[in-house]
Structure 1
Amino acid sequence: MWAINSKWKRVDVIGKELGFKWGGDWTGFKDYPHLERTGGLSYLQMNAGKKPSLSLKFKVENVTVVAVPPKTEVASKVSKEPSKNKWDSTIISIQKTLNSRYKAGLVVDGRWGAKTKAAIVTVQKGAKGNLTWILQSALYLEGFNPGSFDSILGKGTESALSKFQKAKR
């Protein structure tokens, strides 16, 4: 657990001055070491390829300085598909959870192979645990807010999942 002291409060103030949102202000769960800048865009908009404006505006000795990012384009590495050929931390988390909770006997290699795919379980209403948290995170990153990230498949997660499934039909 993170101890919120004067140093973290200072990080909060500096981050907000630079245009960041601080995870300590989140209502669903507090993620104190998290700072993010989305340029006012949702994750769904960014995943669709929209580029945020990420210039920084701050003061140095009462002079306003505006720092603009370079104009070079960077190819997006965001993929809607689980990685198939490389080590992937999300897949590793899923494999570990399937092994510990469901005795799946998977090799924890971070690959979305046939054995991992076959071992996937259906997460049902009221389910609690890491797989539900992964589902909540995935829904949020796809632009469907599950409410709180509480690792419980409740009304918010169920509603977000239903909207996601309708959008993907």
Structure 2
Amino acid sequence: MGRVSLDTLLQRSEKNMGSGMNAIVKKSALEVIRRAYKEGINAQISHGMRTYAQQDALYAQGRTKPGSKVTNARGGYSNHNFGLAVDYFLTSEDGTKAIWSVNSDWNRVAAIAKSLGFSWGGDWTSFKDYPHLEMSGGLSTAQLRAGKKPSLTDRTGTKTAVPSKTSSKPAASSSGGSSYIKEAQKYANSRDYPTKAKFTKLTVDGYKGPKTMNALLRIYQYYGKVTIDGIFGPKSKAAGSIQSRKKHTPGWTRLIQSLLNVHGYKLAVDGIFGTGTEAALKSFQKSKEIASDGAAGSNTYEKFFK
């Protein structure tokens, strides 16, 4: 068998991190996987977000339950509980076996992670946690439990964001409005869409409004090759391209991600129809009482715009 693909490692890692991850932590963790892969190292994320109950179960291991101790942190005392930490491991060449040996490749992955702003558990003195990577922004778990949010710096040097957690509530940004609606508005203003789809360039303020929805509808009509009039009629409904994880294009996927964001979800508008986009789409479909199959079709587009 040949070498496991980078896409496979990224998809597995994204799935294992789960929902609720800090966007910069998740983006940086996936960048670690990419950079390691370029150096011939197959790395994969094994864990990301954990509930307090999941953390307590790990804490019990080696104490009140069989197994070796893997953590000194109870629920609420780990950065995993706040979407600020991930664990990683190496894989065999074909990606079928996990490798937990702390060797030169393992240390190199840690070095890549530290260059992106992570702290490594292998550097700890009291309890060596070699798989562990975290970004706390200097906040203690007590501050995080109190609801304080860290200010993190994206050091990946890439413009492509990664899917963040799916939620029914929009995320607030420090400058007002939802940062994810801002992503949708930036998307609408990009690629000369205001000219192509015949609308005035949007103010990027993070607030859903008629101008934002009208711009996205016009982009939809532009992609569907129907009259661009800002009115969602029968011809517009029939013009939408069916998109799913199995069959999708980046252009339509960015539009769908933007539409999900203005409806309260939290996605990177990156054109990648991954597990985060699929989960958000299914959640939206379920909330609108239509088939929650994770495929955007005419009924889904109608719910987006009406």
- TM-score normalised by structure 2 residue count: 0.26
Higher helix share: 2
